Structure 1
Amino acid sequence: MEMTQPWHELTACEWIERVQVTSAYDGICACLERIRAYNPQLNAFSVVLADSAVQRARELDRLAPHERGPLHGLPFAVKEEIDVAGCVTTFGTNAYTTPRTSHSEIVSRLEKAGAIVIGKTRMPECGAWPFTISKSGGVTRNPYDMTRTPGGSSGGSAAAVASGMVPIGLGGDGGGSIRIPSAHCGLVGLKPSRGLVSTAPYPHLWLNLGVAGVLARTARDSALVYDVICATDFSSKLEPHTSLRIGWTVDTVSPLARPHQDHVSTVQQVAHFLAESGHQVEHIHPRFPDPTIAFLILFLRSIYEEVSTCEYPHHLEKRTRQLAAVGARLPKSMVSWALKRSDVLAEQVAPLWQKYDVVITPTTASRPDRADRIAFLGPVRSQIASIPSVVYTLLWNVTGQPAVSIPWGNDSHGLPLAVQAIGMQEAPLLSLAHQLSAIHE
């Protein structure tokens, strides 16, 4: 790492190294300058905590070297559904107005490790869509092409990291909401396994569907942050495994979406590269079970439970109120069935992991759509427009297994390409992400 390299080009690991020889204050000032320059166009941040970030950086600079944490001076962005003390947790709407008095556990752990909250990032209302757009927050745009969506629902965090406004972003994934924006924005986005990362103070995110997690520019950055937020040691396990058993497929769980040819070609290229690298690679047709019904029941019930706590429900978008109304009418027996169905689906895919360590698929079926694609659509048409984004991701939220979106260069228009890797453990997935993403860094 050269000292002349601009701050916004640094990975999180490089940022921490730079701070050791300069200052946390210098890094935060560079971060805030970048936000001032780019956020007006991208609309990634809803709140920028400039004063508190500067104050925190000055406090960190007074620490002796032995007192510094592993993330000393690292700025990070926080998705609107995660609590930051003093900020309203809006869930992407203006129906909430009371600031939180304490951090979510994930934010507290990062701060204790020396990281600095820089602000809150945009999301669609209640995280319902793979597009980051809302009546209250407007349209968030993709740094690679501002006419395109960064994906959702963690699109604000993705746009913030991909544009260099911040090196790390926190997100949540209930149906692909970390992986989809990571794919659209050229990032490494790991959805951890269910229960690995604390959701406190909330008992869950979208019942058993959602997890909190990290959007990062590299697998090493992702591993570093996960080591802190869930007390793991992924960073020491990034070196490539000598020979993983890998199956690859472009088959979808639904006939309603087919993969874009660029995604088919990308998966094929990745499979060829992995075979050339010494892995055991096989083209497979696994006949994944369709999780749609179980997912929709849990999704609709979760939207209802989320909006039932809001202070000003009349501020919600009409389509959100309509989704919540359906969720309210679902009998408890149906919700219980969907939760049990999750276990059944996990059992149905279990034989796959006896034969393969990792399965590679596209992350999404579609390329990044127009940023305002669902601006004037109702709930049904918004759902239909969302299918190509989520057709490869939903199953792994329902079964609870870890999955990661890994960047693989750009298409002919300069938009990022990616693949999804699924397995039973995070460490091999991050190791594979490290091996693949290093090719294009």
Structure 2
Amino acid sequence: MTNVWGVADTADRIRDGQLTAVQAVEACLDAIGSRDPELNAFSVVLADRARAEAAERDAAEEPLGPLHGVPVAIKEENDVEGCVTTFGGEANSTPAAADSEVVRRLRAAGAVIVGKTSMPEFGAWPYTEPRSLGPTHNPWDPAYSPGGSSGGTAAAVAAGMIPAGIGGDGGGSIRIPSSFCGLFGLKPQVGRVSTAPNPHLWWALGTVGPLTRTVLDSAIVYDAIRGNLESDRFRAGETGSFVEAATREPGRLRIGWTVKPTSRGVRPHPLHVQAVEDTVRLLRDLGHDVRELDTRLPDPTVAFVPQFFAGIRTEADAVEDYRRLEPSIRQAYRLGFWVRPGVLEWALRQGTKVSAKANRLFDRYDVLLTPVTANRPPKVGVLEGANALTAALRSTPAIAYTAVWNVTGNPAAAVPCGLAPDGLPLSVQLVGRLDDEPTLLSLSAQLEAARPWPLVARAS
């Protein structure tokens, strides 16, 4: 299989004349042809369009954008001009008339869009098993799930089919598949990246961002896509350059850690507890002040559940043919009948209270450390035959550490820890103060340098 470089390496090689955009795209298409039949990560491959776009990049004159010629994949919930925005299902059939804002910014930075990636319908579950396309498989072992809802993007990047891909995170959907596939995945501060043409993504829960193999690659993409339009309901505060943050030392930080999930009755897998404890020791060796939390993280259910149902109902109301939605999604739509506008506004106010409680921890700590998920990657088929309630129950261990930070809006990242004895990746979650992605990037880069992780999943 032809080598597919990461974001920074691809951009540098094109800029130095060692590689052309056309060659970069052909390498990706070759890798997709080799690995995707087994993994089922892509919903559509735009081969001819990508080749033409790459040729335009190669003909361009200076100055070149930060992503000039870099191939990128897009999760199905984002509009790509000329492609149907399926949201992982079959209820839409009309191609999008224009790119979403994040895709527009990627192209403006020089990126080449090579295709769209699979997701569970509406991103409702943390496992990528849409009925329309069938399940996506984990490139480390295709018998297992890559997670979700950005599972197609995660599998494509981890397998070396693409330098980077865009995902979304409404309850852990960047971090969970990043952890299952051995990637770096930063959920940004809510409002950091525009959700246009939609005013929001699952109300206050959802964010948009990349999944990449390195911290620097993530920072490069974020610096290209972050920012807002007037139509965005949520807006993040100001920060400096993410690339600069990813290339500087974090300094001595106060780090609080816990392995207690927010969901009662959920127990973390021993390997995930060990991953956190190993990271605690490493962080202390790196000079940080690391202490176990003496308080439990708040339960986000009262704010999360109404926004979850409201997100499902909003997206279902917008599709062209409701009857073609998956049965579990139609059931979730009916179950959410009670989330009227007044209830939703109440839930948003409850989210503000959860955020205030959680963020009091940052009076004592600069960063929090937890597992990403309670469970190991399950076998493919975890959602087979599941109705909405069963799917939600099967999803609970996956979001037991992630969903609270969607409610609060804080940035949070999945940081790889290498491979477990079962041959699948390990990961930990780092959580930062509101609007403090830079500290997470600096600390994650320090961990990456001290404990390098595998970059491309081995071919099966």
1:362 aligned partner: 371
Deviation of residue 48 (structure 1)? 0.4
Q: Quick check: 2:73–2:115 contact (8 Å CA) kept in 1?
A: yes
Task: Measure the CA separation in 2 of the matches of 1:328 and 1:111.
Answer: 39
One-letter code of the match for 1:169? G
- Cα separation, 1, equivalents of 2:36 and 2:132: 16
TM-score by length of 1: 0.97
**1:6 offset after TM fit, Å?**
5.1
Is contact 1:180–1:389 with CA below 8 Å preserved after alignment?
A: yes
Larger mean Cα displacement after TM superposition, 277-286 or 257-266 = 277-286
| Alignment-mate amino acid for residue 141 of structure 1 | H
1:13 corresponds to which of 1, 8, 16: 8
Q: What's the secondary structure of 2:318's corresponding residue?
A: coil
Aligned pair partner of 1:428 in 432, 439, 444: 439
Which of 26, 29, 32 is matched with 1:29 structurally?
Answer: 26
1:85 and 2:85 aligned: no
- Give 2:452's aligned residue: 440
- Who is 1:269 aligned against? 278
Measure the CA separation in 1 of the matches of 2:417 and 2:162. Answer: 21
- Which of these residues, 403, 409, 413, is aligned with residue 404 of structure 1? 413
Q: Distance in 2 between matches of 1:6 and 1:331?
A: 52
Tell me the CA shift for residue 63 of structure 1.
1.7
Contact 1:7 1:27 (8 Å CA) reproduced: no
CA contact (8 A) 1:150 1:158 kept: yes
What is the CA–CA distance in structure 1 between the aligned matches of 2:164 and 2:306, rounded to whole Å?
32
Calculate percent identity across the aligned residue pairs.
Answer: 46
Shift of 1:307: 0.5
The answer on whether the counterparts of 1:300 and 1:327 sit within 8 Å (CA) in structure 2 is yes
Match of 1:298? 307
Equivalent in the alignment of 1:179: 175
**Alignment match, 1:159:** 155
In structure 1, the residue corresponding to 2:283 is in which secondary structure? helix
CA-to-aligned-CA distance 1:327-361 (integer Å, 9 cap, x gap): 23323222111110010011111220111000000
Listed one character per residue, the Cα deviations across residues 110-135 of structure 1 (whole Å, up to 9, x for unaligned) are: 11111000100000011000000111
Match for residue 235 of structure 1 among 233, 240, 243: 243
Letter in 1 for 2:209: G
Which region of structure 1 is more displaced relative to structure 2, 249-258 or 145-154? Answer: 249-258
Cα distance in 1 between the residues matched to 2:351 and 2:185: 23
- How do 1:102-251 and structure 2 match up within 5 A? 102-230=98-226, 233-238=241-246, 239-251=248-260
Q: Which amino acid in structure 2 is aligned with residue 265 of structure 1? A: Q
- The amino acid across from 1:269 in the alignment is D
CA distance in 2, matches of 1:39, 1:22: 24
* 1:312, distance to aligned residue in structure 2 (A): 1.3
Cα distance in 2 for partners of 1:68, 1:385 equals: 46
1:120 match: secondary structure: strand
* Aligned counterpart in structure 1 of residue 337 of structure 2, from 323, 328, 337: 328
Distance 1:184 1:211 in 2: 19
Amino acid at match of 1:137: L
Distance 2:154 2:423 in 1: 17
Partner of 2:457: none
Contact 2:2 2:30 in 1 (8 A): no
CA deviation vs aligned residue, 1:340-390 (integer Å, no higher than 9, x gap): 001001111122011100000000000000111111111111111001100
| Deviations 1:42-77 (CA, angstroms, capped at 9, x unpaired) | 01000000011000111111123x231111110001
- Aligned amino acid, residue 452 of structure 2: H
Amino acid at match of 1:180: I
- C-alpha distance in 1 between matches for 2:329 and 2:294: 37
Q: Is the 8 A contact 2:185 2:414 kept in 1?
A: yes
TM-score (ref. length: structure 2): 0.93
Distance in 2 separating the partners of 1:300 and 1:63: 46
Verify: 1:52 aligned to 2:49, yes or no: yes
- The 1-side partners of 2:378 and 2:280 are apart by 26
CA distance in 2, matches of 1:109, 1:365: 35
- Alignment of 1:68 onto 2:57: no
Contact 2:148 2:174 in 1 (8 A): yes
Letter of the structure 1 residue corresponding to residue 395 of structure 2: S
> What amino acid is the match of 1:273?
L
Number of aligned positions between the proteins: 435
Amino acid at match of 2:142: M
Contact 2:250 2:446 in 1 (8 A): no
In 1, the alpha carbon distance for the partners of 2:339 and 2:191 equals 25
Structure 1 unmatched ranges of 5 or more:
none
1:214 alignment partner, SS class: strand
Aligned to 2:235: none
Quote the residue 2:39 is aligned against: 42
Q: Which amino acid aligns with 1:311?
A: E
